[in-house]
């Protein structure tokens, strides 16, 4: 539905976007994920019409989008701050865009009523924004965005102002609403958990470039670049050379088991990534794996995180185990994993 082709945007000496190309399908929940300053919000502003690219094209259903002014694009943008009118009621906030289009009052009333019902605010239509909780204000902003029935809804860090529990509830709510209203959602976020829980597909941005586009599980389990492996979730990274079909050859640790990505040539410089939950704790004299001493144990309710100092590894190895760990700081442990649980990535990608 949406095709972004070679979009470049520069601000003086800074290249915010460097030839970015993406394709987003009808009804898809698509996330733009990356650290601050990577270009994802600039791309969102270009789609909304608030920025003009230096090069490239954007088409919506095959028609040029960049030639249309912002108010003529079939797109809604939900701002990070929500930008609600404080002097207007919830219903008036939601109706504002429809009133500007001079639609019949009966149609406006019906559509506002329907969308407030959809977001669970049917009983709050007469309240002002300052009488609502953060989560409710977020729903009003969302209702105002979808009441115009856009082809595309852009969300800029939509949940960043909410506390953790409300944010988790609203993630489920956003996903439900997206399926219910059938609008294509594009969300900008630096929160990996948010992107992974919401999106059908994720584009990972780094310094104005797209490093990988994939479904959440594939992105997590099979990162194709060093940046993605390090940025998306916690990861233990080891450097060496590809040692065939199931190992990385390292100077300090010998052969470490792993599965190479397609295109990794034997003998080439490579990186092995293994997630903390895939690392097994064992006895320190276990000949199959690494050996180290436990630096710290942190309990997070359903899972414990252990930080293990392995001589020769610049960063501690992270291990995640279910429940409360009985291992104490200072204990000597062995670490191992199965080849299919680690991925070997070409260095330089």
Question: Mean of the pLDDT values across residues 50-59?
Answer: 95
For the chain, percent of residues with pLDDT exceeding 70: 97
Where does a domain end: 221, 256, 273?
Answer: 221
Domain membership flag for residue 96: yes
pLDDT digit string (tens) for 147-203? 888 889 898 887 776 667 767 777 777 787 778 778 899 999 888 888 998 899 999
Q: Are residues 37 and 123 in the same domain?
A: yes
Domain membership flag for residue 212: yes
Q: Which of 234, 333, 227 is nearest to 275 (CA)?
A: 234
Q: Are residues 173 and 117 in the same domain?
A: yes
- For 282-290, the CB contacts below 8 A with 24+ separation are 282/333, 282/334, 282/335, 282/336, 283/333, 283/334, 284/332, 284/333, 284/334, 285/334, 286/334, 286/336, 288/334, 288/336, 289/334, 289/335, 289/336, 289/337, 290/253, 290/317, 290/334, 290/335, 290/336
pLDDT of residue 287: 61
| Alpha carbon distance 256, 249 (integer Å) | 7
Confidence label for 303 from pLDDT (cuts 50, 70 and 90) = very high
For residue 349, pLDDT over 70 is answered with no
pLDDT of residue 82: 74
Q: Are residues 151 and 262 in the same domain?
A: no
Domain membership flag for residue 243: yes
pLDDT of residue 162: 65
Domain membership flag for residue 226: no
Domain membership flag for residue 18: yes
**Total domain count for the chain?**
2
Q: Are residues 204 and 323 in the same domain?
A: no
Q: What's this model's pTM, rounded to 2 decimal places?
A: 0.86
Question: Mean of the pLDDT values across residues 250-274?
Answer: 90
pLDDT digit string (tens) for 63-94? 999 999 998 899 988 876 778 899 999 999 99
Buried b / exposed e across 288-315, counting CB within 10 Å, b at 16+?
Answer: ebbbbebeebeeeeeebbbbbebeebee
Cβ pair 339, 247 in contact under 8 A: yes
Q: Are residues 175 and 304 in the same domain?
A: no
pLDDT of residue 143: 87
Confidence label for 114 from pLDDT (cuts 50, 70 and 90) = confident
Q: Are residues 203 and 178 in the same domain?
A: yes
Confidence label for 109 from pLDDT (cuts 50, 70 and 90) = very high
| Alpha carbon distance 150, 194 (integer Å) | 23
Q: Are residues 175 and 242 in the same domain?
A: no
Name the helix (H) or strand (E) containing 156.
Answer: strand 152-156
pLDDT of residue 168: 75
Domain membership flag for residue 332: yes
Helices marked H in the chain — which ranges? 40-48, 90-100, 105-118, 134-146, 164-181, 192-198, 216-221, 226-231
Q: Are residues 133 and 250 in the same domain?
A: no
Q: Which two tokens stand for residue 110?
A: 């019906």
Domain membership flag for residue 228: no
Confidence label for 348 from pLDDT (cuts 50, 70 and 90) = low
pLDDT of residue 264: 87
Where does a domain end: 172, 187, 221?
Answer: 221
Q: Are residues 28 and 175 in the same domain?
A: yes
Where does a domain end: 191, 221, 251?
Answer: 221
pLDDT digit string (tens) for 206-252? 999 999 999 999 999 999 999 999 999 899 999 999 987 789 999 88
- Domain with 243, as residue range(s), is 234-346
| Alpha carbon distance 10, 192 (integer Å) | 26
Cβ pair 27, 139 in contact under 8 A: no
Residue 331's contacts (CB-CB under 8 Å, 6 or more residues apart) are: 293, 294
Q: Are residues 172 and 286 in the same domain?
A: no
Confidence label for 347 from pLDDT (cuts 50, 70 and 90) = confident
Chain-wide mean pLDDT for the chain?
Answer: 90
Count of other CB atoms within 10 angstroms of residue 154: 23
Residue 45 Cα distances to 16, 77, 79, angstroms: 12, 9, 11
Q: Which of 63, 65, 83, 64 is nearest to 75 (CA)?
A: 65
Q: Are residues 109 and 197 in the same domain?
A: yes
Q: What CATH number corresponds to the domain at position 99?
A: 3.40.50.300
Q: Are residues 65 and 104 in the same domain?
A: yes
pLDDT of residue 90: 93
Backbone φ, ψ for residue 27 (5° rounding): 75, 10
Farthest CA pair distance, the chain? 78
For residue 18, pLDDT over 90 is answered with yes
Domain membership flag for residue 193: yes
Q: What CATH number corresponds to the domain at position 243?
A: 2.40.50.140
pLDDT of residue 139: 84
């Amino acid at each position: 539905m949406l095709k972004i082709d070679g979009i470049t945007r520069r601000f003086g000496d800074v290249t915010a976007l460097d030839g970015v190309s993406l394709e987003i399908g009808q009804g898809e929940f698509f996330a733009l994920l990356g650290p601050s300053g990577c270009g994802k919000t600039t791309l969102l502003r270009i789609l909304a019409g608030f920025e003009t690219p230096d090069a490239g094209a954007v088409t919506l259903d095959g028609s040029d989008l960049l030639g249309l002014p912002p108010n003529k694009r079939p797109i809604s943008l939900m701002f990070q701050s929500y930008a609600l009118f404080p002097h207007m009621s919830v219903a008036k906030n939601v109706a504002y865009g429809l009133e500007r289009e001079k639609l019949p009052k009966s149609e406006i009333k019906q559509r506002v009523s329907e969308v407030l019902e959809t977001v669970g605010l049917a009983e709050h239509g007469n309240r002002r924004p300052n009488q609502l909780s953060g989560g409710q204000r977020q729903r009003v902003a969302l209702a105002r965005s979808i009441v115009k029935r856009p082809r595309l809804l852009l969300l800029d860090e939509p949940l960043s102002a909410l506390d953790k529990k409300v944010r988790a509830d609203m993630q489920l709510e956003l996903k439900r609403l997206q399926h219910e209203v059938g609008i294509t959602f594009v969300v900008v976020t630096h929160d990996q958990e948010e992107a992974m829980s919401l999106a059908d597909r994720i584009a990972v941005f780094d310094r104005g470039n797209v490093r990988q586009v994939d479904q959440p599980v594939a992105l997590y389990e099979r990162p194709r670049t060093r940046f993605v492996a390090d940025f998306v979730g916690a990861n233990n990274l080891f450097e060496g050379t590809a040692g065939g079909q199931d190992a990385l050859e390292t100077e300090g640790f010998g052969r470490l088991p792993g599965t190479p990505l397609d295109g990794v040539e034997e003998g080439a410089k490579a990186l092995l990534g293994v997630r903390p939950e895939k690392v097994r704790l064992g006895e320190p004299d276990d000949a199959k794996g690494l050996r180290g001493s436990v630096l710290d144990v942190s309990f997070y309710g359903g899972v414990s995180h252990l930080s293990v100092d392995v001589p020769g590894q610049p960063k501690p190895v992270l291990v995640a185990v279910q429940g409360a760990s009985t291992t104490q700081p200072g204990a000597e442990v062995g670490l191992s994993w199965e080849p299919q649980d680690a991925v070997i990535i070409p260095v330089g990608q």
